[in-house]
Structure 1
Amino acid sequence: MNDVAVLVVDDDFMVARVNRGLVERVAGFTVVGEAHTGANALAAADRLRPDLVLLDVYLPDMSGLEVLRRLRERPGPAVDVLAVTAARDVGTIRAAMRGGVVHYLIKPFSPEALWERLDRYRQLDQRLSTSPEIGQAEVDRMFGGGRGGPLPKGLTEQTRDLVAKALGDCGGDLSATECGELVGLSRVSARRYLEHLVDSGSALVRLRYGATGRPERRYRPAAPQASPTARQPRAEKPTG
């Protein structure tokens, strides 16, 4: 399958260069051009025919929302748009959603945040290109409504999936420290992800009582056959 062709649009030359570098670090994506005004963005989209546009809202000659509207009205192959902007007012966000952006990323953001959105877009694009139809569960995962639940601030889906995989592959249970060592996180960060998995029903936690000190929290995957309506206990009491 061909790489996703990306057009980077930002009024700041340095920001555009940084975003270009971030995109080019993701396998399956190729930046085909940059634009720094709305008019140049529209001309580049007509000339380069990108699959995806990283679009800033604040442009010197017109709003990125106007660029989005014109992209939607132009003839020819459709183009997807990922808004990457400092605009955080509700009206702009709502207008972008109604314009059909695939995601809305507010500056400043971490490289991981952009990579996560690109990875999700790539998975969605591949799945829709290879299958005539898909089920509701997969649609939910693609649109971020899967079993992991909404993520608390500061957590990313990519790292959550790594933590969930480590938990599933361990063959038993893990402490936050052990999980962090496997995934490359601090104990505190690993525990935040593990507690999120517990809250969303994807993991269970029990307390292991030692001879002295505080009990240790041990995490394991939730049973696959567990009913989503049957709430599991947050902690299992020790036996004996």
Structure 2
Amino acid sequence: MAIERSWCVVPAAGRGARFGADRPKQYVALAGRPLIEWTLDRLAATPCIAGIVVVLAAGDTGWRARERIGDTPLLTATGAGERSGSVLAGLRALPREVGDDAFVLVHDAARPCVRSDDIARLVEHGAAAGGGLLAAPVRDTLKRADGETRVAATEPREARWRALTPQLFRRGELVAALERAQAEGITITDESMAMERAGHRPLLVEGAESNIKVTTPADLALAEYLLSREWGMGNGEWGMGNGE
């Protein structure tokens, strides 16, 4: 069965304050290149992605402007101070031919190790289910803390998943869900949360544990290790020429 091709919105307007660098996190060097370059190269090398919209902060001076990555069209939009506003800006910047019923992906700029085969499975199974997201089952024992950072309880880990990206939803439904959350003053931490609040039940599609989000310097070191391991194994997907 042919897999539908979808556009991908990449919110990259945040400052990454928790990372503690002198520049936005997406421009921190990872294996000799800005982190976001690895992410965009991986997306552009994924056959089921038709194009990419990168959402930038107003006045962003770190962005290297271009119209394509390889054969994949690349657009930009100006984001907002919070994730939901930036994703909305990206959704509104999609080409006219991407209608309200079209499925679109949203992927974190700081997840450079996402696997192309995971994205393909998400598009295939998520679209059939009306929407979905990559996720990983929780395997560690979970503890709930009290106000003094002592263990208050051990939480069951059965049926618990960690949300990853990309996440896949119909453009019109996601716009409506995000706009509703904004109007109600709700802080949205991922697109699935907005869709859940609007009554949807997204499909959880298991993705690789290596699809980490770079939030701290330790995460950056792990991402570099994962990238170097892939490259050292001769996997051509990690080639460095696609974004040049």
Q: Which structure has greater helix proportion?
A: 1
TM-score, with length taken from structure 1: 0.29
Structure with larger RCO (C-alpha < 8 A, sep 6+): 2
Q: TM-score, normalised by structure 2?
A: 0.28
Task: Flag the structure with higher strand content.
Answer: 2
